[in-house]
Structure 1
Amino acid sequence: MEISDQLRCLFSATVEQRDGSYIIEVPERELQLGEIDEGSTYRVALLSTPSEPKAQAETPPKQTHDSTEPPVKEGEQRTVEIEDIGDQGDGITRVERGFVVIVPDTEQREKVTVEITDVRENVAFAEVVERLSYYE
């Protein structure tokens, strides 16, 4: 599955019926990350989860990913577009859940393949591996 570069947040939620409408609640942390704003309109994609056999339905699902963990790992390569330039002149891009990756020696709107070199709780740092054409 291809994920659009326009993806602003990714989370799991249950569709609930309330007063004749169906509601999907957006976790508060998604607004705190600054990628979406209250009162704004967004496109929403719904992906189904694989159904479990009935025998497993009674046991709680295993947590394989802690949503508070950074969505990147050291050594991982990503193709990204530089969204902004920070106060120190470094490029800034965001990946899943609005997680910030800082990439030195890049320009705004530049598309690059980077390698993650350092991951911290709230930010990661990367180096350019390849500069891509604006048309790719």
Structure 2
Amino acid sequence: MVDIADSLQCLFAASVTEQAESYRIEIPREEVEHGELDVGEFYRVGVLTHTAASSPSESPDAAPNAAPQEPQAPPVDEGEVREVTIETLGEEGDGIAKVERGYIVIVDGGQLGETVEVDIHAVRENVAFAEIVADDS
């Protein structure tokens, strides 16, 4: 599994396109409008490779020049209650858990190493926000 730095601002899939004397990777509009990116700021960019199984253009059954697959929907829904384990802490002390496909859930008040039941209250393409469900016992 890939280690995710606490300073990660966004995570998305994109292709590289050629433009004049350079190459371009476009950031989806929603990452700026709903994320923590600011136009005109400088960011470090990491590039992760993919396996042939995750790339339709490299799959033996794929048609030549096939369009990339649409991104999968987040594996959680708003209002969903589920159990997660806090794997690390964010810069502001929030718990960070990962669920299916490495999808990140930020848990308000989560403590490192604890397994908690959370209520998902906001879902974005690459991250969800949750609160620990109150213990009535």
Q: Same fold (TM over 0.5)?
A: yes
Percent identical among aligned pairs is: 26
Q: Which residue of 2 aligns with 1:126?
A: 132
> Contact 1:35–1:98 (CA<8 Å) still a contact in 2?
no
Q: Deviations over 1:61-103 (max 9, x none)?
A: 7668304955x9710112232544xxxxxx6567789865322
Q: Which residue of 2 aligns with 1:3?
A: 4
How far residue 126 of structure 1 moved from its aligned partner, in angstroms, is 2.7
The count of corresponding residues between Structure 1 and Structure 2 is: 114
Going from structure 1 to structure 2, the CA distance change for 1:19 and 1:99 (only over 3 Å counts) comes to farther
**Distance (whole Å) between structure 2 residues aligned to residue 119 and residue 33 of structure 1:** 17
**Distance (whole Å) between structure 2 residues aligned to residue 13 and residue 39 of structure 1:** 20
| Residue 79 of structure 2 is aligned to residue 79 of structure 1 | no
**Distance (whole Å) between structure 2 residues aligned to residue 44 and residue 113 of structure 1:** 29
Please state whether the residue corresponding to 2:112 is helix, strand or coil.
strand
Q: Which residue of 1 aligns with 2:42?
A: 41
How far residue 44 of structure 1 moved from its aligned partner, in angstroms, is 0.7
RCO comparison, higher one (Cα < 8 Å, 6+): 1
Q: Which residue of 2 aligns with 1:113?
A: 113
Note the aligned Cα RMSD (angstroms).
3.6
**Distance (whole Å) between structure 1 residues aligned to residue 83 and residue 69 of structure 2:** 27
> Contact 1:117–1:124 (CA<8 Å) still a contact in 2?
yes
TM-score if structure 2 supplies the norm length? 0.61
> Contact 1:75–1:117 (CA<8 Å) still a contact in 2?
yes
The answer for unaligned runs of 5 or more in structure 2 is 53-57, 124-128
Q: Deviations over 1:16-37 (max 9, x none)?
A: 1112111110011111233211
Q: Which residue of 1 aligns with 2:109?
A: 103
One-letter amino acid matched to 1:102: D
